[in-house]
Structure formats: C-alpha cells, structure tokens
Structure 1
Amino acid sequence: MRVLGFGTYDTQRHPRVGVLLDGMRALGLDVTELVHPLGLTTAERVRILQQPWRVPSLVVRLVTRWARLVAGAAGQRPEVVLVGYMGHFDVLLARGVFPRSTIVLDHLVFAAGTATDRGTRPGLRTWLLSLLDRAAIAAADVIVVDTEEHGELVPDRRRKDTVVAPVGAPLEWFAAGAAARTGLTGRDGTSPLTVVFYGLFTPLQGTPVIGRALRLLHERGVAVRTTLVGDGQDAAEVRAELEGFSEVHWRAWVGPDELPALVAEHDVCLGVFGDEGKALRVVPNKVYQGAAAGAAIVTSDTAPQRRVLDGCAVLVTPGDPAALADALADLAGDAEALAAWRSRAAGLAGRAFTPAAVAAPVVDALRTRPNRRAGAR
C-alpha cells in the first residue's frame, strides 16, 4: 500500500502525524511525504481565525504552500493520502488533487472547539468554524480521532468511517527515556521530587490549578522542584501565584530536540487539569510523551484518560488544586511508589504508545476498506 503524507503540517511542532507515518512504515506500508509547512503554531492559527483582519495573511501563506504541493503532486498516484494535524484546509486540496485516492484526515482538533477553548465566544465565528469542521470531514474517506469522546463529535453518518487512534509518542521520546534509565539508581527519599509541565497555558490545561497546588505544597513545606515550560493565556496568573518561589524554575520554551531529554530528567510529568469542555475529552500529547520518557504521570481523572492510561497514572479530580497537591506530596514521600508509577507508565508506553501501536487501527481500517482507485497497482 502506497501512502503519501500530504499538506502543510510541521512534525517538529505537532508530532502526531509523524507518529502515524512512522507507524505505517513499521507496519510495512510504502510511505513518502509531500509537505510544505505553513509555519504557524496552533495559537497563531486560532488567533487568525479569531481576528478576521488577519485572514488575508493566512490566505497568501496557504496559497503559496498549496502551489508547491500541487506542483509536487504531478505524476504521483498514492493509494492513500494522509492529511496531517490542523488539515482542515489541506484535506480540501487533497480531495481535489487525488480524487481516486483514499483520503485520511488526522482530525485531532475540531476548529470550533479549539477556538472556544482559546477564548472565542459562541457566535458567527464559531459557527463558521463548525462549517469548516464539517467540510473537512466531508472531504475525507477516513477520519482519525484520538479519543472516543472526539469521535462522538463526528456527524452520525460518518461514524462508520471514523477510527480512534491514540496520539502516541515519537521514537525520540522512548530513546530519551531509555537513556535516562541507564544507570538510574532511583530516589533515596531525601532528594526533592522533580516535576515538569510544558505547554501553552490554555484553559484546558488547567495551569492555574497547577499553580495553586504548588503553592499548597510550598505552604506545607513539601520538597518539590518544578520546571514550568511555556507561556500563554493563563501563564500570568500562574506566575503571580508562584512569584518568589525558588523551587519553581520557568523556561520560556524548549525546542523539540531538547524537550524529550528534559522531561526524562524529571520524576513526574504533569498532564492537564481543566474541568470543562474540551479538557474532559482529550488525552494530551504530554501524557503520552512523558510516559514514553519514563516519568510518572499525574493528570486529571477523566473518562478518556482513565481509559487510555489504564491504571498506569496517578489520576486526580479535574480542577482541584488540593487533590493535585496531595498526589504530589504522596509521591514526594514514597520513593518506592514513585518508582512503581514510573515503571507502569513506561511499560504502558512501550505496549500502546509506540508509532506502530498507534498506527495499527488506522492500517487495519485501510486494509479492510475498498480502494477508491479501481485497479490501482
């Protein structure tokens, strides 16, 4: 089966589609890529959609990349075209350029839901973004989502064409975890617990909950050293909560080449702690990546995270700083329990979060699906 990764995605910023493609290669598919990255983060894309006067700049950038994609597509006859993350527009192009190929849309993000999470009030803009979501889904033959909850947002008539595949982690995260475990002797119960969080400080991540939990630990005198990586919507509130705390280290950002090793150096990787909307439907990248890196995972107790993490992570009540503080305090005071949670997370990642494991349900769906290209060879 010939598979073409196609679009304006950037695996350095959003590694999910790279995980799928690597998994397809590992499962024996013939995978190539035709990619011209748009060069915008998710936050920048959402900002453009929230501020209509910025749309012309998006159009110019998109048309330039599309022209290159169309030129590069000449003569290519893939059986399957995989359109990567944030491919709402790219999938429309793919449908036109490859009318006889099976088009797979990696639909991790619903545009309307993401805009709402980033502060856009329901109205004309979210309605238009919902139309964009529906148009993207209509253009695809197979829709890939990351949780059953996101699958329920797909229109009923397209549920049969929807595949649930976890986000997973790139291979470099597993390599970082293996390297960190080499010669690891474990905590002796006297050194402080080390905790890391990285992200864009959006409401679904619930970072104010993290800030208040760290303040509670500080007030209790529990030794926890925390690295907070990133910036964004709620960062100012968290900074104000933790102002002057020497045990909290801030980093504006860490590049994708450095981030896996940084996370692997910590005992605990924090997930998300929002308590409404999208926060209750996702299993975030950092949960998969942190587990692959060998960190213990502490995240919110939601249906999708409970299902995916399967007893291999410490789950706390969403939106509850005291519950998060209690969980971290328990880990700080019990080196054996910490080691056990780290081992469980790494074991689960090795079984279920590798590229091959993530891509398997997608490949199974493709192999049982009639080929659009009649007689393709």
Structure 2
Amino acid sequence: MTVCYFGNYQKDYPRNDVLISGLKQNNCHVLECQTRARGIKKYLSLYQQHKKIKNKYDVLIVGFAGHSLVWFAKLISNKPIIFDAFVSLYLTNVADRGVCSPQSLKAKYYYFLDWLSCVLADKILLDTQAQIDYFIERYKIDKNKFIRVFVGANNKIFYPDSKFNPRPDRGQNSKFVIHWHGYLVPFYGFATILEAAKILSRQDKSVKFRFITRFNNKSEHFRNQAKSLANVEFLAEVDKKDLAKYINQADCCLGVFGANKKAELVIPNKIVEALACRKPVITAKHQAPAELFNHQENIIFIEPANAQALADAILALKNNSELRTKIATNGYQLYLSQLTPKILGRQLNNILTTL
C-alpha cells in the first residue's frame, strides 16, 4: 500500500505526525506532498509535487487541516480521497473561539468548507464518535463515510522517563506538581484551572501548578490574574522533547474543563501525551472522553467548569498514592493498547486496503 499524504499540514502537529509515522510502522509507503506556502503558491506547489507521483500511489489522504484543499485533491487525483477532518472549522472558530458572528459571511464560509470537504471526500477521519455524530447531524453527511481514529501520541517523544519522575514514596508535605499545557482557547476551560489553583493556595501550599502556553495577550491576562498566587508558575511554550520532560516531572496532569460544545466532542492531545508518560489525568466528563476512559479506573472525571470539584480531585489524588498509581498505570496500558502510532497506523492501514 502506497499513500500520498497531501496538504499544507504541519508535519510536527501531533495528529499528522502520529498517522504518518504509524502508517510507516505498518509497512505502508508514504509519499508526502506537502507545502506551507499560502495563496496561489500553495496550489502551484502541491500541483507540481503531485504531478511527479500521481501514478505511484493507491490512496490520497488530505492531512489536517486541509479543509480548503479537498476540492483540489479531488480535481488532480483519480484515486480515493481520505480527508482527515479532525475538527470542524465552524465549531472551532465560530462556536468555540468566537472569531466571528454566526451570521457573518466568514462563519458561513467555515460552514461551507466543512460541508464541501466532507461531501467531496470518499472517507472522512474524525477522532471521536461524538464528533462523527455532530458532523452527520449538522452537515447531513452519509454516516458510512466516517471512520473513527482516536488521537495518539508519539512514543519516541512521550514515554515514562525515570530521570525526571518524582519519587512515589516522598512525604505528604513534599511539593505536588500539577501540569497543564496548551493554547488558551475557550473549550480548555483554563479559568476553571486557575480558580482551582486559587482554592488550593489556601488549602494546601504543597500543591504547585505549572502551566506551559504561548505568551501572548490571552496568556498575559491570566498571568496577571495569577500574580498573587505563589503556587502558580507560567512557562513559555517549549518543543515537544522539553514538554515531555515537564510532563514526566509532574505528579498529575490536567485535561480540559470547558462546558461548551467543542469540549463535549473532542479528546485533546494533552490527555494522550500525559497517558503516554504514565501520568494520572483529571479532566471534565464529556461524551467524547467517555468513549475511551472510565472514571477512577484510568482517568478522573469531574463536572465541567467546576473549580471546587477540580481542587477536590487534585487533593484526592495527592493524598492517595495507591489511587494515583492505579490511574497512571491503567491509563498507560490503555495508551499502549490503543493509542500508539503503530496501533493507530495499523487501524488506518487496514481500512485503506479495503478501498
């Protein structure tokens, strides 16, 4: 099986990295037809690259985020087109981030791109059944087009590293580090995390929060709010290897805590990256994560947008090393059995061979 991986995707974005490396690990030959150019140069570059390989592959995958390129792939290729939608542009930009009004032309453009790319593709990849149901209902797409492929994490980067792991037998008053990383977008519910930090600054001074994010106007707003909190540390975003180091230094990692539609439908990369490092994870209970995880077996679920519930869950893990170890171990085993690049690549490769 030879695949053309096509688009203006970021090669190091976890979704693309995991699927490409996973396919290669399953003896699938991957020909990358990729550019980061914009405007007309993007199409010219992709056309020229594709022309050299157009008779050398069996299936074309439009990588994330290629919503605006599915029509072009369909135009220049006569092979089956697989579209890794991964997220809805409308849901992300309009419903979650509010970059424009739902009645605006821009919102209608996002909606149109979601719909058109799915109509033109032969198969569509999404990471949860919850998202698949959303696309079917909102865009009236044939349910048989969709394939669920969970998010994964690169196990060459994210893995348990004893050099950095905190000692499990240290005392109750030792520093207990909570880790979170990501951009400050609404569905992550970062305000809930910061409020939980404020609660715990009064209840248990040994609990420390480390946040890794892009330093911009959004993060400055939260950094200013946290100036009075001695238990909070903000770090500027780092590369993936350093990120894995910081995850390994932590006692517990946090997922997402928003209460909006996007929070209900996705499983963020940060959760799987923490599992891959054998860390216990706390996240809001929503439809999507419930497809993979069970409360107090391989994750801790709490009510969305509830800072007190988050603070209580953190203390429960801090004060119960057996529960902490159980959640971390079971989460890691789940990762090894379902979410490594090789496992996900095998699943995708098996589907491709039937087309």
- TM-score clears 0.5: yes
Cα 1:240–1:187 change in 2 (3 A) is farther
Secondary structure at the aligned position of 2:6 is classed as strand
Letter in 1 for 2:354: T
- Counterpart contact for 1:292–1:349, Cα < 8 Å: yes
Instruction: Give the C-alpha shift of residue 62 in structure 1.
Output: 3.0
CA deviation profile, 1:118-152 (whole Å, cap 9, x unmatched): 11321122122101111111221110001111101
Does residue 238 (structure 1) correspond to residue 238 (structure 2)? The answer is no
Secondary structure at the aligned position of 1:283 is classed as coil
Cα 1:171–1:66 change in 2 (3 A) is farther
Does residue 352 (structure 1) correspond to residue 352 (structure 2)? The answer is no
Q: Distance in 1 between matches of 2:199 and 2:279?
A: 22
Out of 73, 80, 91, the residue aligned to residue 102 of structure 1 is 80
- Counterpart contact for 1:223–1:332, Cα < 8 Å: no
- TM-score, length-normalised on structure 1? 0.85
Paired residue for 2:354?
Answer: 368
Does residue 4 (structure 1) correspond to residue 10 (structure 2)? The answer is no
CA deviation profile, 1:287-327 (whole Å, cap 9, x unmatched): 11111122111111112112212331111111100110000
Instruction: Give the C-alpha shift of residue 115 in structure 1.
Output: 0.9
Does residue 318 (structure 1) correspond to residue 304 (structure 2)? The answer is yes
Does residue 333 (structure 1) correspond to residue 319 (structure 2)? The answer is yes
Q: Distance in 1 between matches of 2:127 and 2:206?
A: 36
Does residue 286 (structure 1) correspond to residue 285 (structure 2)? The answer is no
Instruction: Give the C-alpha shift of residue 286 in structure 1.
Output: 0.4
Letter in 1 for 2:103: G
Paired residue for 2:42?
Answer: 65
Q: Unpaired segments of 5 or more residues in structure 1?
A: 39-60, 370-377
CA deviation profile, 1:156-212 (whole Å, cap 9, x unmatched): 4421010001011112334xx233378874242332211111111111000000000
Cα 1:320–1:237 change in 2 (3 A) is farther
Q: Distance in 1 between matches of 2:34 and 2:242?
A: 24
Instruction: Give the C-alpha shift of residue 281 in structure 1.
Output: 0.8
Which has the higher mean CA deviation after the structures are superposed, 229-238 or 85-94? Answer: 229-238
Q: Distance in 2 between matches of 1:195 and 1:86?
A: 31
- Counterpart contact for 1:188–1:335, Cα < 8 Å: no
Paired residue for 1:80?
Answer: 59
Q: Distance in 2 between matches of 1:318 and 1:235?
A: 21
Q: Distance in 2 between matches of 1:186 and 1:202?
A: 33
Letter in 2 for 1:64: K
Paired residue for 1:373?
Answer: none
Out of 50, 68, 82, the residue aligned to residue 89 of structure 1 is 68
Cα 1:189–1:201 change in 2 (3 A) is same
Secondary structure at the aligned position of 1:75 is classed as helix
Q: Distance in 1 between matches of 2:344 and 2:256?
A: 21
Does residue 189 (structure 1) correspond to residue 171 (structure 2)? The answer is yes
- Counterpart contact for 1:81–1:101, Cα < 8 Å: yes
Instruction: Give the C-alpha shift of residue 335 in structure 1.
Output: 2.2
Instruction: Give the C-alpha shift of residue 350 in structure 1.
Output: 0.9
Runs of 4 or more consecutive aligned structure 1 residues displaced over 6 Å after TM superposition: 181-184
Out of 98, 103, 106, the residue aligned to residue 123 of structure 1 is 103
Which has the higher mean CA deviation after the structures are superposed, 345-354 or 22-31? Answer: 22-31
CA deviation profile, 1:197-255 (whole Å, cap 9, x unmatched): 11111110000000001111111124211111114675355334422222211012112
1:152-191 alignment, distance < 5 Å: 152=133, 153-154=135-136, 155-174=139-158, 177-180=159-162, 185-190=167-172, 191=174
Q: Distance in 2 between matches of 1:187 and 1:218?
A: 23
Q: Distance in 1 between matches of 2:167 and 2:345?
A: 34
CA deviation profile, 1:263-286 (whole Å, cap 9, x unmatched): 122121110000121111111110
Paired residue for 1:146?
Answer: 127
What is the Cα-based RMSD across aligned positions, in Å?
Answer: 2.0
Q: Unpaired segments of 5 or more residues in structure 2?
A: none
Paired residue for 1:25?
Answer: 24
Q: Distance in 2 between matches of 1:161 and 1:29?
A: 22
Letter in 2 for 1:134: W
Paired residue for 2:257?
Answer: 273
Which has the higher mean CA deviation after the structures are superposed, 73-82 or 284-293? Answer: 73-82
- TM-score, length-normalised on structure 2? 0.91
Q: Distance in 1 between matches of 2:22 and 2:8?
A: 20
Paired residue for 1:56?
Answer: none
Out of 247, 263, 270, the residue aligned to residue 247 of structure 2 is 263
Letter in 1 for 2:19: L
CA deviation profile, 1:15-68 (whole Å, cap 9, x unmatched): 202211211122222222121125xxxxxxxxxxxxxxxxxxxxxx23212212
- Counterpart contact for 1:197–1:269, Cα < 8 Å: yes
